[in-house]
Chain A
Amino acid sequence: MKAGRSRVALALLLVPGLLALTGCRDRVDLNDRAIVMAVGLDAADEPGRVEVSMAIAAPAGATGGGGAGNAGGGAGGAGGWRLIVRSSAGRTVEEATLGINPGIGRRVYTGSSALLAIGEDLARQGIRPWLDYFIRASDFPMKVWVVVTRGRARDLMAATSDESGFQVLDLQDAFEQVEPRQALTHNLRFWRFYDYLVAPHRDPWCAYVAALERNHLIEAVAVFSGDRLAGLLRDEEAAAFGLFLPGAFMSNVFVARPGPDAGEPGPGDSVAIRLKSVRKAVRVTSVAPRRLAINLRAEAIVTEGLPVTESPRAEAEIWQAKVTRAMEESVRRLVDRLRDWRADPLGFAETFRRIDPRLAEGWHDGWPDLEVDVTVELLFRTGLRGRGIGW
């Protein structure tokens, strides 16, 4: 390469390079941004308006009161930082966001958020119009967790806790850890929630969280019908719901209690199982009357109640039948409940649609007339696979 050529080439490179040095307005240092850890949406006092709350991480020294003035030392690392909560209402999310003034002289930055909390009131009014902003904002992460809060979302964000100082942070940790209790909702991140919300043949669901005195509680599964909160699934219904979610059935506990005709049970007076695997088959018939057949084949390990043996015995078979019936019962109850709510979080309408899109049309109205069969086949394992080495 001759010297002259390279010099000209270098000039070609340098001139725009130097130009680029001026006026790049996206350069805002991280410590000059108000890092938003969680975003909350609540119904504002006037109809048609939304209240946006943001939990902002701020250095411990910065001013500002907010709901929580606690120094969050645990999660804050060496320097120490705390959360401050700011809210603002507006006709749109954008307007409300612009109204939020962190009060610490920084630019609001939502790119690191990990939680989107929706207040119960807003959820019951309908959330679709308010989520559009988040899917379009390029820096809002699509994999934040979505929760519906008991009461106002703002209260959850301001709630303190024993562990990390803030219930918002505890909640994030809980979701990240996939703790069995949260397994039901662990794979429902914002993008999927949004997908189910927008999809015509499916309804979204998410965790329903209550901020307690010094702790949070994932109380139930919040099920939507359309974009409105339809109801909450608790206990056995939630467990039945989990049977249909990949990875979530592991945490389910089904308990059968002895009926009046039962013989001698095991050591306890009930049997509890943990499921190893579930294979589900949902079949539909397209001819009238429309019929939905749900068949679940599960393998279960007895965790309490029956003696540890290598193969099923007569008493185990009795209990197997009982637990099977209990499971069928709870699944049926779940489906009934969903039918009442006209909610379809499990995507049954999708099954119809796959056969013929016309079947799925107007399914919301046809849902209560649908006939539903539920069958459960359960394989019991009381503990041992074989006798082991000395066999």
Chain B
Amino acid sequence: MTFTYRISQWQLFVVVALTSISLTPFGSPAVHHDFGRHIWVANLVQWLVTGAGGLLALALARRFAAGPAGRFSVRAVGPVLGWVYGFLLATYVFLWGPVGTLDTMLQLLEVMELPETSPAYPAALTLGISSFAAYLGPEVVARFAEAFSWFLLIGLVMILVIPLAEASLGALLPVDLPDPAPFYNGTTWAYVLGIRGFFLVPLYAAYLDYRRRVHRPVLAGLLAALVVVGVITTTPHLLFSDAALKTLQYPGLETMATSPITILPVESALFVTVLIWHGIGFVVVAATLYVAAALFADLFRLPHHRWLVPVLAGLAFVILRLPLQTQVRETLMVGWSLLGYVVGLVFPAAILLLRRGKRVNP
């Protein structure tokens, strides 16, 4: 029995919102440390970058993406350059999702929950389950994200609301000018590119029914992510002083540890928080794994993305387990963030300026 269900607007919203929220609040404790209470500046820049990237991706999707995922670059700039761009994009999505996000997730897990278990086990488990979803196709990934989002929504609301019990707005200091020094730092720019859900837009857009509008779900998803990330990064500043925050590893998480949910037999809301972030991690890894596999399959003219999924998952596992020095790791992270900058902003902008594609009309 084969009916094909296209991805709905709501599903696109959920996928974009969750991938945009991702593990961003914990992605870079270093940025928290550098910016301190001026983290809002980094958030703002991040949002501007994200907004620009999102709009560019939307424009690309509308102009070129009425076909298989990833083919739009070929249609836009010709076979050779399009292939190179597609390859870079696929590599970037792969590095960001199954490698980068999962890496953050594993660090979180190691620090907060399973200090003595080898990260290999959770890594294998996460990649296994995500491959399961990605293997079954974009619709299953979207439905999985959507079904999970019901539980994640409850958790996210708790995450946003519970720490406010102990927070006081009086703890906020008056606005003053931030120190520009952190902006000369590579990690900062890696963080600024932290919200990257928009990269999925042109790829998922291929599955959208074009009679529906893509703008609204994508923008709504980005906005929702902005709100969530904004609240989570600022709440610690309502509870802790600047100096104390700089000594915490994951301010967004440790904030949750301050307030007990007395009504439940649950000692610490931290439990819920960690569950929710893991849940989001699963969705992100599944979605990006699928997108990367589909893109690569298209580039190498494979009949189907399916068999690439386990291959990519295995590759991600190997990369995650590679013994790398922290410095190398940081450099690589900054490196591929810049790749993301090129792939997500510079190139799309160039294409849109230089090429007039055929607008996909309803």
On whether A and B touch (CB less than 8 Å), the answer reads: yes
Give the number of A-B contacts (CB < 8 Å). Answer: 90
Q: Known contacts being A12-B310, A141-B257, A198-B243, is A354 close to B135, with CB within 8 Å? A: no
Q: Once bound together, how far apart are the Cα atoms of A194 and B128, in whole Å?
A: 41
Q: Known contacts being A9-B132, A9-B135, A136-B249, is A195 close to B244, with CB within 8 Å? A: yes
B121 touching A20, Cβ below 8 Å: yes
Q: Once bound together, how far apart are the Cα atoms of A192 and B241, in whole Å?
A: 9
Contact of A16 among B118, B124, B248, B268 (CB under 8 A): B124
Q: Once bound together, how far apart are the Cα atoms of A338 and B243, in whole Å?
A: 23
A67 contacts B by Cβ under 8 Å: no
Q: Known contacts being A23-B118, A26-B115, is A142 close to B257, with CB within 8 Å? A: yes
A150 contacts B by Cβ under 8 Å: no
Name the residue on A nearest B124 (C-beta): A16
Contact of A26 among B111, B116, B125, B267 (CB under 8 A): B116
Total contacting residues, chain B, CB less than 8 A: 39
How far is the CB of B137 from the nearest CB of chain A, in Å? 10
A287 contacts B by Cβ under 8 Å: no
- Interface mask (A125-150 → B, CB under 8 Å = 1, otherwise 0): 00000001001101001110000000
- Which residues on B sit within 8 Å (CB–CB) of A200? 243
A191 contacts B by Cβ under 8 Å: yes
Q: Once bound together, how far apart are the Cα atoms of A194 and B240, in whole Å?
A: 9
How far is the CB of B161 from the nearest CB of chain A, in Å? 17
- Which residues on B sit within 8 Å (CB–CB) of A189? 258
B275 contacts A by Cβ under 8 Å: no
- Which residues on A sit within 8 Å (CB–CB) of B116? 25-26
Total contacting residues, chain A, CB less than 8 A: 38
A202 contacts B by Cβ under 8 Å: yes
Contact of B244 among A8, A198, A353 (CB under 8 A): A198
A17 touching B125, Cβ below 8 Å: yes
Q: Once bound together, how far apart are the Cα atoms of A189 and B268, in whole Å?
A: 14
B257 touching A191, Cβ below 8 Å: yes
Name the residue on A nearest B249 (C-beta): A136
A112 touching B267, Cβ below 8 Å: yes
A12 touching B128, Cβ below 8 Å: yes
B121 touching A19, Cβ below 8 Å: yes
B254 contacts A by Cβ under 8 Å: yes
- Which residues on A sit within 8 Å (CB–CB) of B260? 143
How far is the CB of B351 from the nearest CB of chain A, in Å? 36
B111, B241, B247, B267 pick with most chain A CB within 10 angstroms: B241
Contact of B121 among A9, A23, A132, A141 (CB under 8 A): A23
B114 contacts A by Cβ under 8 Å: yes
Q: Once bound together, how far apart are the Cα atoms of A201 and B242, in whole Å?
A: 11
A15 touching B254, Cβ below 8 Å: no
A141 touching B248, Cβ below 8 Å: no
Q: Once bound together, how far apart are the Cα atoms of A353 and B176, in whole Å?
A: 12
B128 touching A15, Cβ below 8 Å: yes
B360 contacts A by Cβ under 8 Å: no
- Which residues on A sit within 8 Å (CB–CB) of B240? 191, 195
Name the residue on B nearest A139 (C-beta): B115
B4 contacts A by Cβ under 8 Å: no
B114 touching A24, Cβ below 8 Å: yes
A138 touching B267, Cβ below 8 Å: no
B127 contacts A by Cβ under 8 Å: yes
- Interface mask (B128-140 → A, CB under 8 Å = 1, otherwise 0): 1101100110000
- Per the 8 Å Cβ criterion, residues 234-275 of B in contact with A are 239-244, 247-249, 254, 257-260, 267-268
B303 contacts A by Cβ under 8 Å: no
Name the residue on B nearest A202 (C-beta): B241
Contact of A13 among B112, B132, B258, B259 (CB under 8 A): B132
A5, A9, A136, A194 pick with most chain B CB within 10 angstroms: A9
A318 contacts B by Cβ under 8 Å: no
Name the residue on B nearest A20 (C-beta): B121
B243 touching A26, Cβ below 8 Å: no
Chain A residues at the B interface, C-beta cutoff of 8 Å: 1, 5, 8-9, 12-13, 15-17, 19-20, 23-26, 112, 132, 135-136, 138, 141-143, 189, 191-192, 194-202, 353-354, 357
Give 6 closest A-B pairs by Cβ, nearest first: A16-B128, A199-B241, A16-B124, A198-B244, A195-B244, A25-B116
A-B contact sample (12 more), CB < 8 A, given A191-B257, A195-B239 = A5-B135, A12-B131, A12-B310, A16-B128, A20-B124, A24-B121, A112-B267, A138-B112, A191-B254, A194-B244, A196-B241, A201-B241
17 A-B residue pairs with Cβ-Cβ distance under 8 Å, sorted by A, are: A5-B136, A9-B135, A12-B128, A13-B129, A16-B125, A17-B128, A19-B124, A25-B116, A26-B117, A135-B247, A138-B112, A138-B113, A141-B267, A143-B258, A143-B259, A143-B260, A191-B257
